[in-house]
Amino acid sequence: MEDALVAVEAGADAVGFVFYEKSPRFVGAEVVREIVRGLPAGVETVGVFLNEEPGRIAETAELAGVSAVQLHGTRGKWPVTQKKLFVAVPAGELMRSVGDMPPNVSAVFADSSNGTGGAFDWRDAWTGVRAVEQHFPVVVAGGLTPENVMEMMSVLEPWGVDVVSGVEREPGKKDPEKVRAFVAAVRSVGEK
């Protein structure tokens, strides 16, 4: 709850919860439900899934009370859901992925090839981002920090950004100062 509130108070529009059990960031659906209930109205709450079955995604998202689901590695197994649907795609596969998206995708997340928080070459991804944004909003993730997010935004001009490890003190625990610095850097780009 503390990490979620720090992000919201800093000005984040969304808070994500990892439902991949092998992750050091894993949190159970019941815990997420309590956190979601404690957040202000209007904050997007996102359940993040890796290679999960559609039925389990729908069940977990409903139990947790999140407003959206973000899928990693579940290609071709799109869940039928009343939630917003975000799909993470390795940056190098953006061009190929556009035709594979179900029509209910709310945004495509351009991420590193392995989805583990590493940065990718933003200039190499420019063409793919431009192609995808003709159909879906693009959110850039992977390797972002308070120090580099402004540069990435100047190169790719995405609809949104997503950060995890770049604002952590240790895996699974946010650093409030890094969270505030990251959100401030993103907001400063939007003000220009």
Is residue 192 domain-resident?
no
Domain-located, residue 94: yes
CB contact set of 134 (below 8 Å; sequence gap of 6+) = 98
Domain membership of residue 130 (yes or no) is yes
Tell me what pLDDT residue 92 has. 87
**Token pair of 137 as six digits:** 């909003």
For 147-161, what is each residue's pLDDT tens digit?
999 999 999 999 999
Percent of the chain with pLDDT over 90: 71
Among 95, 148, 138, which residue's Cα sits nearest to residue 117? Answer: 148
- Helix (H) or strand (E) holding 72, with range, is strand 68-72
Whether 63 is in a domain gets the answer yes
Q: Identify the CATH number of the domain in which residue 71 sits.
A: 3.20.20.70
Amino acid at 102: P
Q: How far is CA 137 from CA 132, 145, 147, in A?
A: 8, 21, 24
Query: Is residue 179 scored above 90 in pLDDT?
Result: yes
Q: Which two tokens stand for residue 183?
A: 């959100």
User: To 10 degrees, what angle do helices 2-10 and 176-191 make?
Assistant: 20
Residue 141 maps to a domain:
yes
Task: Tally the domains of the chain.
Answer: 1
CA 44, CA 81: separation in Å to the nearest integer? 16
pLDDT at 75: 62
Q: What is the mean pLDDT of the chain?
A: 90
pLDDT value of position 118: 72
Structural domain boundaries enclosing 106: 2-187
**18 found inside a domain:** yes
